[in-house]
Amino acid sequence: MTQYYELYRSSSIGAALMDSLDELISEGLLTPQLAMRVLAQFDKSISDALSNKVKNRLTFKGNLHTYRLCDEVWTFILRNPSFKLEDEILTVDKIKIVACNARKPGEA
């Protein structure tokens, strides 16, 4: 069984899903076990959709301030990064990038 990360639960759509599930649980319309299954399916679906449906390319550059590897999850903090998507360029003060292994078990 493939492991999926819970990274997107803190996104706006993930937070809305969790709020809705909490409300359904508190009203007795959903069991906590079923809510956990829904969240697990959300993790799988959002990961699959982003890896298979999104075709846009983004390039970025900036000054690497901090990086670390913990439990096979990389975290990078960039200062003064600029992002280029097609003809649009966006700059910010800093950004945190979290990267996880995308390979399925058994892949080289």
pLDDT of residue 31: 97
Residues 6 or more apart whose CB falls under 8 angstroms from that of 10 comprise none
Beta strands in the chain (DSSP E): 59-70, 73-85, 88-91, 94-100
Task: Give the structural domain span for 40.
Answer: 7-52
pLDDT of residue 81: 96
- Considering 29-43, 51-65, 93-107, the range whose residues carry the highest mean pLDDT is 29-43
Claim: this prediction has a pTM higher than 0.85: no
Question: Average of pLDDT values for 82-97?
Answer: 92
Same domain for 67 and 44: no
Is 47 domain-assigned?
A: yes
Neighbours of 81 (CB within 10 A): 19
Domain count, the chain: 2
Same domain for 94 and 64: yes
Q: What is the CATH number of the domain that holds 39?
A: 1.10.287.190
Is 15 domain-assigned?
A: yes
